[in-house]
Amino acid sequence: MKEKISTKENWENFWKDREAIQEVYSNEDRIYFNLIKVSNVDGKKILEVGAGSGRDSFRLAQENGIVFVLDYSPQALKIVQNLNATHNPGVHLMQGDAFQIPVPDASLDIVFHQGLLEHFRDPMPLLKEHFRVLKPGGFLLVDVPQKFHIYTVIKKILIFFNKWFAGWETQFSLPQLKKLTQQAGFSICHQYGRWMRPSLFYRILRELFKKINIKLALYPAGFKYTRKTRDWLRAKFITQKWAFYTFLDIGVIGQKKD
């Protein structure tokens, strides 16, 4: 059986179907809020690798970061360019290969990516390239899908039947992600996770309704007291060790030592 991979064609088709980016779920600034826990972004040279829509980068640019986005998909960069027209300040676009980033050694303060590492069977060369372009003391944020989640089960089934949007994808536990980042030469200084909002069930339902031309709201209205209780519980338990085995997304931030 031919080994499944994630191809450029997968991503061109994915972003072509998502030109109406306001209808696509955002990361709700989790990249920004976790980065500022370890570093001031004002005046820092920042690169987002595998930019997709670039919405995380725009928030960093608004906080006076000097932000570049890199992607090999022209369709993704087209979305970023369209968003650039409505954001001040904007971001700088680069089309290129994440394994050969077109910048000199030790030239960036922060590198980050979300939804990238899991698409490579051997991610170490990618992480080593990020180590190369970071200045001593610079930070790398890696954000990936968490292994122990119903999302993983559904994804594996769809990959088996060649129905997964990205062609192929893996996932990580927090210990795996930390070990991989450390092996690339970084010292872990922060870790985080996020539960899915809205729920996976609602997102699947929304996609199914799209197929029959019924448009559900991006976020369901829900009930005030249910939302307040949920938010209280999440705030209470989000830092617990066991929670990292329930999140949809997990991330670590590593620092390149001086």
Phi and psi torsions of 117, nearest 5°: -60, -35
Query: For residue 210, is it within any domain?
Result: no
Bridge partners (DSSP) of residue 110 are: 46, 139
Domain that holds residue 38: 8-195+238-255
Query: For residue 171, is it within any domain?
Result: yes
pLDDT at position 222 over 80: no
Q: What pLDDT, on a 0 to 100 scale, did the predictor assign at position 20?
A: 83
Query: For residue 212, is it within any domain?
Result: no
Query: For residue 97, is it within any domain?
Result: yes
Query: For residue 206, is it within any domain?
Result: no
Q: What pLDDT, on a 0 to 100 scale, did the predictor assign at position 203?
A: 93
Q: If you average pLDDT over residues 190-209, what whole number do you get?
A: 92
pLDDT at position 100 over 80: yes
pLDDT at position 182 over 80: yes
* Bridging pattern class, strands 134-145 and 249-255: antiparallel
pLDDT at position 186 over 90: yes
pLDDT tens by residue, 144-179: 999 999 999 999 999 999 999 999 999 999 999 999
Query: For residue 180, is it within any domain?
Result: yes
Q: What pLDDT, on a 0 to 100 scale, did the predictor assign at position 99?
A: 95
pLDDT tens by residue, 23-42: 888 888 999 999 999 999 99
Per the structure, the count of domains in the chain is: 1
pLDDT at position 43 over 90: yes
Check which CATH number belongs to the domain holding 137 and give it: 3.40.50.150
Query: For residue 1, is it within any domain?
Result: no
Q: What pLDDT, on a 0 to 100 scale, did the predictor assign at position 1?
A: 53
Query: For residue 205, is it within any domain?
Result: no
